[in-house]
Amino acid sequence: MATTTYALLVDWSGDGDFGDTGEVITDRVLSIDCERGKDYPSQLTGRSIAGKLVAVLNNESGDYSPFKTDGDLYGNLLPGRLVQLRAAHGTTFAYTFPFIFSDTSIWTGYLETITPEVSVGNVKVAKLTAIGPLGLIAQRETRISLQEDKRTDEIVTTVLTDTGWASGDIDAEEGKTTITKFFSASGNALSVLREVEDTEAGFIYEKTDGSIKFEDRYFRMRDAKSTTSQLTFSDASGATYSYEAIRQEDPLPSIFNTFEATVVIYTAASIATLWTLGETGSLSPAIEVGGVNIYYAQFPPMTDGIQASEIAGQVTVNAWTTPVAGTDYTVNAAADGTGANLTSSVAVSATKTSNQMKIQLTNNSGTAGFITLLKARGTTLTTSDPTLMIAEDATSQTAFKKRTYKSRAKWIPTSAEAQNWVNYNLSIFKDPMPRLTISFTAGKSAATLDAALYLDLSHKVTVTATGDNTKLGIDEDFYVENVRHQITEGNTLHRTIFELSPATATGGFWSLGNSYLGTETKLLY
């Protein structure tokens, strides 16, 4: 057995580190189960989910009881506290074997709940549940301005920054798709990121240190850990990296022999009034001396909190016009507009996003007044008729019946790129490919422990399952798509589970002078 040192840390004080008393809770841990990565081991249908960590803690002291007023952590058992699981080979947090670690993080996220439980035997425990960064981002809204001619990675960075995500916690590879016009109507930050991820055919996920990674669609074709197999998991007797269980996933759900992608072109219209304050005449809003009134102009309008998807083909604002005194707003000493005109002494500021403009009026006139006119003008984006691009394979349809995949990509800029997308995916997913889940005891040897701690999402590994122990007939390269660690029995038993997708999805592409297109290789998207 290999010796491992684990550390579970919680920033109870919320000061951004783990240096305060009671923040290293390793000796209170009874079990840990953490996971991050895709919800299904497929490069097409799988999506990275918010990671999750569940730890069962000894609560004999009552420190993890939120209502115990004399507990050491009373008042600090709050959601959003930073949580991190670390591990090291041996008894210190620094080693080389054969990979280099320094205080290696396995999982990083944020406290969600902590719930005390008392069994019939009066064993007092508390269940700590933490969510990964994507779960935190899913709770946040984004209101960014219209993005024009921006790469996918630039938009990802803009969205994350708008949610308050630190720039140092964003690791974005340069995207290969430039989106001509991008806007967000939903407001939900994670949903917006999904739209960009799908358009790029990239991968957004949580790293072990809690940062957000954005891989472009070529990442696995050039990154050293994705192009070269890092190790081989084998069912052979005496194998250095052996597994204890292997499960082959049903390939049918990942077979698609008809692909569809839709392209919509957005064009700017002429300047028009997009929003008008409805309160006029006797209903004109008062604005006191030195008072500040704030209004939010929206286009398309909201109904019961839901953004209208389209109004006569107009889907969002291309550009808001800065409000002009006398044209877009007037302030008068009388509600019906018959009093002194105070407009020139009213200061206006405007904050603009793609479907909303915040308008702030400050009355500097020295006289109380009424807002008798307020409107927002701008140019809208109108949509073209959608263009549908299709690719299909008759042989696969005969063998597996027609199985259609409709692209989730919303921002493909041209029909040519959409056609490349459907052709590329059809060439890969029309035939069945193996998808695997393997598991092993990490600490049974130094080698398997290193594999458990080192291998990460998008890393390439080789799996052989050809012997009498498995009889699966598989000897291929795979990508790691999901990582799960289960640590029990006083941190002495560490079980690791990898979900794997076939690496053939990124292999066999044509290059000038090196291969024959259509017979040996296929075009890259």
Q: How far apart are CA 185 and CA 383, in angstroms?
A: 15
Is the pTM above the cut of 0.95? no
For the segment 510-525, the average pLDDT, to the nearest whole number, is 48
Whether 246 contacts 472, CB under 8 Å: yes
Q: How far apart are CA 393 and CA 404, in angstroms?
A: 11
Q: How far apart are CA 180 and CA 9, in angstroms?
A: 44
Position 121 scores a pLDDT of: 72
Position 373 scores a pLDDT of: 97
**What element of type H or E holds 450?**
helix 446-454
pLDDT tens digits for range 205-247: 999 999 999 999 999 999 999 999 999 999 999 999 999 999 9
- Residues sharing a CB contact under 8 Å with residue 511, sequence separation 6 or more, in sequence order: 521
Whose CA is closest to 457, among 213, 278, 236? 213
Given a cut of 90, is residue 521 above it in pLDDT? no
Position 122 scores a pLDDT of: 77
Whether 330 contacts 339, CB under 8 Å: no
Given a cut of 80, is residue 468 above it in pLDDT? yes
Confidence band, pLDDT 50/70/90 cuts, at residue 316: confident
Query: What is the architecture, at CATH level 2, of domain 140-217?
Result: 3-Layer(bab) Sandwich (3.55)
For the segment 352-374, the average pLDDT, to the nearest whole number, is 95
pLDDT tens digits for range 245-282: 999 999 999 999 999 999 999 998 899 999 999 999 99
Pick the CATH number of 4-133 from 1.25.40, 2.30.110, 2.40.70, 1.10.3430: 2.30.110
Q: How far apart are CA 139 and CA 189, in angstroms?
A: 8
Q: How far apart are CA 383 and CA 388, in angstroms?
A: 14
- Residues sharing a CB contact under 8 Å with residue 238, sequence separation 6 or more, in sequence order: none
pLDDT tens digits for range 321-358: 999 999 999 999 999 999 999 999 999 999 998 888 99
Q: How far apart are CA 146 and CA 352, in angstroms?
A: 9
Token pair belonging to 286:
């008062």
Given a cut of 60, is residue 503 above it in pLDDT? yes
Q: Of the given ranges (79-88, 98-107, 121-130, 383-392), which has the lowest mean pLDDT?
A: 98-107
Looking at residue 500, its amino acid is L
Domains 4-133 and 140-217 share a fold: no
Q: How far apart are CA 263 and CA 168, in angstroms?
A: 34
Task: List the beta strands (DSSP E) in 11-119.
Answer: 29-38, 48-58, 82-89, 94-96, 100-102, 104-118
For the segment 306-315, the average pLDDT, to the nearest whole number, is 51
H, E, C per residue of 397-435: HHHHCCCEEECCCCCCCCHHHHHHHHHHHHHHHCCCCCC
Position 21 scores a pLDDT of: 87
Bridge pairing between strands 460-465 and 232-234: parallel
Whether 29 contacts 8, CB under 8 Å: yes
% of the chain exceeding 90 in pLDDT: 74
Q: Of the given ranges (2-6, 409-413, 497-501), which has the lowest mean pLDDT?
A: 2-6
Confidence band, pLDDT 50/70/90 cuts, at residue 8: very high
Query: What are residue 378's DSSP bridge partners?
Result: 272, 320
Neighbours of 375 (CB within 10 A): 16
Whether 152 contacts 177, CB under 8 Å: yes
| Whether the bond into 434 is cis, omega within 30 of 0 | no
Given a cut of 70, is residue 311 above it in pLDDT? no
Given a cut of 50, is residue 430 above it in pLDDT? yes
Position 507 scores a pLDDT of: 52
% of the chain exceeding 70 in pLDDT: 89
Position 375 scores a pLDDT of: 97
Q: How far is CA 184 from CA 145, 159, 178, 202, 355, in A?
A: 8, 10, 16, 19, 8
Q: Of the given ranges (190-194, 367-371, 516-520), which has the lowest mean pLDDT?
A: 516-520
Query: Which own/partner pairs from 162-169 qualify as long-range (CB within 8 Å, at least 24 positions apart)?
Result: 162/189, 163/137, 163/189, 164/140, 165/137, 165/212, 168/211, 169/133, 169/210, 169/211, 169/212
Q: What is the DSSP letter of 345?
A: G
Q: How far apart are CA 428 and CA 508, in angstroms?
A: 10
pLDDT tens digits for range 147-190: 999 999 999 999 999 999 999 999 999 999 999 999 876 679 99
Length of the chain as a residue count: 525
Whose CA is closest to 151, among 183, 184, 182, 176? 176
Bridge pairing between strands 329-332 and 302-303: unpaired
- Mean confidence (pLDDT) of the chain: 89
Position 260 scores a pLDDT of: 97
Given a cut of 90, is residue 512 above it in pLDDT? no
**What element of type H or E holds 269?**
none
Bridge pairing between strands 266-268 and 369-383: antiparallel
Domain ranges of the chain: 4-133, 140-217, 258-265+385-429, 266-383
For the segment 468-489, the average pLDDT, to the nearest whole number, is 94
- DSSP symbols for 148-169: EEEEHHHHHHHHHHHTT--GGG
